[in-house]
Amino acid sequence: MLAWYAANGRGLAFRTTSDPYAVLVSELMAQQTQAERAAEAWTAWMARWPAVEALAAAPVADVLRAWAGLGYNRRAVALHRAAKAIVADHGGRVPDDVGALEALPGVGPYTARAVAAIGFGRPVGAVDTNVRRVLGRIAVGGPGALTSAAMQALADAVVPAGRAAAWTHAVMDLGAGPCASRNPRCGACPAAPWCRFAAGERALEPVAPRASARRAQGDASSGQALAFPATSRWLRGRVLARARDAVDGSWVAYGEPIGAHPPEAVREAVLTLERDGLLEVREGAGGLEARLPDG
């Protein structure tokens, strides 16, 4: 698999470094964002804020503007808060311990292990959807046959000594390529000779919901739905875009409908973004006003 990755791996810009801060930025950018788009944004980001201290000192409004096009703007705020925590609590050095990494704002089990493996060479497995599918298919014929704890134990156990970073990238790329969720190309997979799935031992795999179901479920739960004008996520995106585009960070009035959303829905969207730390809000002469945060 490592030889396959050396010959076929994606040449993404953020794979040219093992700097833990740079890895942290790339991992948060690449969540629910196309890897190639994240790589472009990462290059510009690192040119502007090449060290964690620079990001921690930046106004959050500038961070949100730089995040434009990456979606899930709460990740930008979380990354900014993580940078501040690294400076305040770790002397400006990204911690190399998985537990300490998970304690940072916005960093979950996957991101913590990806930073530990890629940035520090720790022999831990970063388990995302692609990794779960690849390792589950090889080991038992499908990811649905393993509990989360068993999958994590498997992912940790198979990391090759001294090759944690390359292995992390290799498994991710295999899942994004030959070992796709639909129509996998087992004939092009370097793991096929040892893979139970390729041998026909097909364990039950989770069925991905249809796009319409994902849209409805995401919008009803956490606002992480597909961009669609009738959804609250679409509305929040338009609200934030207006604040992001305001000249010199001026206050923007939100008393009118946006698209098909009435003023009451617009107001709720603004207040939700305030609770998430993405906007500052005040009552103006013409109703609710907002702008990107100063702090």
pLDDT tens across 40-90, in order?
999 999 999 999 999 999 999 999 999 988 888 899 999 999 999 999 999
27 is annotated as an active-site residue: yes
Q: Does domain 211-291 have CATH number 1.10.1060?
A: no
State how far the Cα of 86 lies from the Cα of 215, in Å rounded to an integer.
Answer: 35
- The tokens describing 234, both together, are 């679409």
Question: 3-class DSSP state for residue 11?
Answer: coil
Instruction: Please tell me the predicted confidence (pLDDT) of residue 231.
Output: 85
Asked if 215 and 225 count as a contact pair (C-beta separation under 8 A), the reply is: yes
Tell me, rounded to whole angstroms, the distance of Cα 253 from its chain centroid.
31
Judge whether residue 23 has pLDDT over 70.
Answer: yes
State how far the Cα of 127 lies from the Cα of 188, in Å rounded to an integer.
Answer: 22
Provide the residue ranges of all domains of the chain, joining segments of one domain with +.
19-120, 129-194, 211-291
State how far the Cα of 149 lies from the Cα of 252, in Å rounded to an integer.
Answer: 47
List the single range of 21-30, 148-157, 194-203 with lowest mean pLDDT.
194-203
27, 36, 53, 102: which one is catalytic? 27
CATH of domain 129-194: 1.10.1670.10
pTM of structure: 0.80
Query: Which fold would CATH assign to domain 19-120?
Result: Endonuclease III; domain 1 (1.10.340)
State how far the Cα of 233 lies from the Cα of 286, in Å rounded to an integer.
Answer: 25
- The tokens describing 70, both together, are 């990456």
Q: What is the pLDDT of residues 219-238, one digit of tens each?
A: 322 333 345 777 888 888 88
Asked if 138 and 171 count as a contact pair (C-beta separation under 8 A), the reply is: no
Instruction: Please tell me the predicted confidence (pLDDT) of residue 206.
Output: 58
State how far the Cα of 75 lies from the Cα of 184, in Å rounded to an integer.
Answer: 31
Under the banding of pLDDT at 50, 70 and 90, the label for residue 204 is: low
List the single range of 98-107, 132-141, 187-196, 226-235 with lowest mean pLDDT.
226-235
